[in-house]
A and B are shown apart, each in its own frame.
Chain A
Amino acid sequence: MDPLLIMQLLIAAVAGTLIYTVIGIAPGTDETAVLAPVTLVLVLTGLAPIIILTFFISAIVAKKLTDSIPVAVAGIPGGVMAAPMVEHALVLKKHNRADLAIRKMASGSVIGTLISVPLSLLLAQQLLPFADVVKTYANPLFFFGAIFLALMSKERFVSLLAILPFALLIQGLRELYWATGVVPAGQTVFTSFFLGITIGPVLLTLFELFNTNKRTTIKKHQTKEVKLRYQQHIETLHPFKILSKEELTWSTLSSVFGSLLFILSPVGITILLGEVISSRVKDPVRKASLAISSMDALTNAAYIAGTLIPLIALGVPLSPVAIGPGGALFNAPPVFNETYNMHHALSMPEFIIATLIGATVAIVITYFIIVKYAEAICYVVFKHVPHEALLALFIGLVVLLSFMDGGLLNVFGVGLVAIVAGYFHRLGMNYGVQFMVLYAAPWLISLF
């Protein structure tokens, strides 16, 4: 392979790792909302697909390694996926073992990555013969995917009932754009609707602030108190030595499950399996350590498998991770579309190289260096990066891409999609269902 390309891949991996180490630590950042826009932008700039995949893989691994750090040191989830772990991490924090929590979680992450990368490549190979069937029925499959994810979610009635209205909104806006000539016929607005859905819950909260009544009655808060404990006794960094035999076994097993169940929502299986595994143990510290190490292994595995398997085998984003954070790898007009995306652009050896370089660089940098300086990094991010700036950055990106997709009218169109999506989200229709509907909308509406 060309040494120049290898060099570029390494640079992409380092960049992905560094950026998502910081973002991973910043509290409350949703995986889809922070990974999707940046990946999308990279795809649109026309970078080589193999470079983008390397960046993406290193970004997920780094993000998943670091979003558990604020959980451990401050009890604030660094991301949606880290939320189920807060309860257990707080137990360790209470026992003054935040350092232990970091090391257990990070080791779990490493196990999850080590297991899921080869397993996903293997599973993808097994699924290849079915790719053509899946592709032929992709549209109905998205629709059934939406129904399936809706049924699996807690608010299944809301999710089911909202499918058709939401499809109507998306397809209705597209037809309107064609009718008014804002968007030329044959060009479909996709990217900015996708972003609208991602930023929906936040935009809804912000929009409500324009309502006088809401503004005065909304719960007010004080400055957030963050206590960081300075730990100096991290002795070993060897992941296999940090975990006990029991934790190692369960982390490995849950990584296998996470990879096999790639089609389900990663948050759901994390909560479920984490509870099942840890409920047998009585001692609080042992129980919490077991829970967080296996949960972290599982989220990592679910993320990597959820991206790689549909990407390599199918070319159709049929998993919550692929359709959410990895969405741009499958569909980002005009660069990628349903008939030509990263699945078609890369060969099997290229997929393997990109994954290995991305995962290795992220583990080496994030695990060995960041884990050691976890508190210092948390301190800098908490102290100097205001939440307002992060929110504004995402809103800026949405406005830019909406304008590029369909002019000023589409900026408001995306605002509408975001507010409706945000409201459905609040009622319990999760991202997975909404993205499936986004894909299924043209087919679904054409049935009538």
Chain B
Amino acid sequence: MTTNKQNDITLLSESSKELIEVWEDVIDIRDLVLAIMITVTLTMTLYALAPDQAPFPLIFGLAGALLGFSLSIFLIKPKRTVTLIKSKGEK
């Protein structure tokens, strides 16, 4: 198994969390499953609750998706460490 083979800075990071790369960014699988469950459940619940008439199911479903998105932002921490470097600004 290659799990802990990266020998560069692995020792420094506190909880060497196992993240995987999807779409050019890293994610935690458990968090992703959580986010998908929240979003899909809310989307389909609101869709099911919508009045049965032309644009309503779609609009309700979308509102559910956005609600799930907001909730996920609130619940899940991004897996990036962002540092802001102040530079003087050269000529």
Contact = CB atoms under 8 A, between A and B. Distances in A.
Interface of A: 27-30, 41, 44-46, 76-77, 96, 99, 201-202, 205-206, 209, 215-233, 375, 379, 382-393, 395-397, 399-400, 403-404
B77 to A, nearest CB: 6
Given A230-B87, A395-B40, A219 B21 contact: yes
Interface residues of B, number: 61
B87 A27 contact: no
Contact of A392 (B38, B44, B78, B87): B38
B25 interface: yes
Contacts of A201: 23
B13 A388 contact: no
A46 B54 contact: yes
Given A220-B3, A395-B39, A383 B32 contact: no
Interface in B45-91: 47, 54-55, 57-59, 61-62, 64-66, 68-69, 72-73, 76-87, 89-90
A400 B61 contact: yes
14 contacts: A28-B23, A28-B25, A44-B58, A45-B55, A221-B19, A231-B89, A382-B78, A386-B77, A386-B78, A387-B23, A387-B25, A391-B27, A393-B69, A396-B43
B83 A221 contact: no
Interface of B: 1-3, 6, 9-10, 13, 16-29, 31-32, 34-36, 38-40, 42-44, 47, 54-55, 57-59, 61-62, 64-66, 68-69, 72-73, 76-87, 89-90
Contacts of A399: 40, 43-44
Given A45-B58, A46-B54, A218 B79 contact: no
Given A386-B76, A391-B32, 18 more contacts: A44-B55, A205-B22, A219-B21, A220-B6, A221-B19, A226-B80, A226-B81, A382-B78, A386-B72, A386-B73, A388-B31, A388-B32, A392-B69, A397-B62, A399-B40, A399-B43, A404-B57, A404-B58
Q: Which of B57, B64, B89 has the most CB of A within 10 A?
A: B89
Given A202-B22, A385-B73, A226 B83 contact: yes
Nearest to A225: B81
Contacts of B23: 28-30, 201-202, 387, 391
Given A224-B79, A396-B39, A388 B27 contact: yes
Nearest to A201: B23
A389 B68 CA distance: 8
Contact of B25 (A27, A229, A397, A404): A27
A202 B57 CA distance: 27
B56 to A, nearest CB: 10
A82 to B, nearest CB: 10
A222 to B, nearest CB: 6
A396 B16 contact: no
Nearest to B20: A218
Contacts of B27: 386-388, 391
A41 B58 contact: yes
Given A230-B86, A396-B40, A382 B22 contact: no
A229 to B, nearest CB: 5
A386 B44 contact: no
B10 A222 contact: yes
B47 A223 contact: no
A232 B54 CA distance: 51
A225 B83 CA distance: 8
B36 A395 contact: yes
A285 to B, nearest CB: 12
Contacts of B80: 223-226, 382-383
Contacts of A30: 23
A389 B87 contact: no
Contact of A226 (B38, B39, B59, B82): B82
Q: Which of B6, B16, B43, B64 has the most CB of A within 10 A?
A: B43
B38 to A, nearest CB: 7
A117 to B, nearest CB: 30
Nearest to A218: B20
Nearest to B5: A220
A221 B43 contact: no
Nearest to B58: A44
Given A220-B3, A222-B16, A391 B22 contact: yes
B44 to A, nearest CB: 7
B83 to A, nearest CB: 5
Given A386-B79, A396-B43, A220 B19 contact: yes
A220 to B, nearest CB: 5
Contacts of A397: 43, 62, 65
Contact of A222 (B1, B9, B65): B9
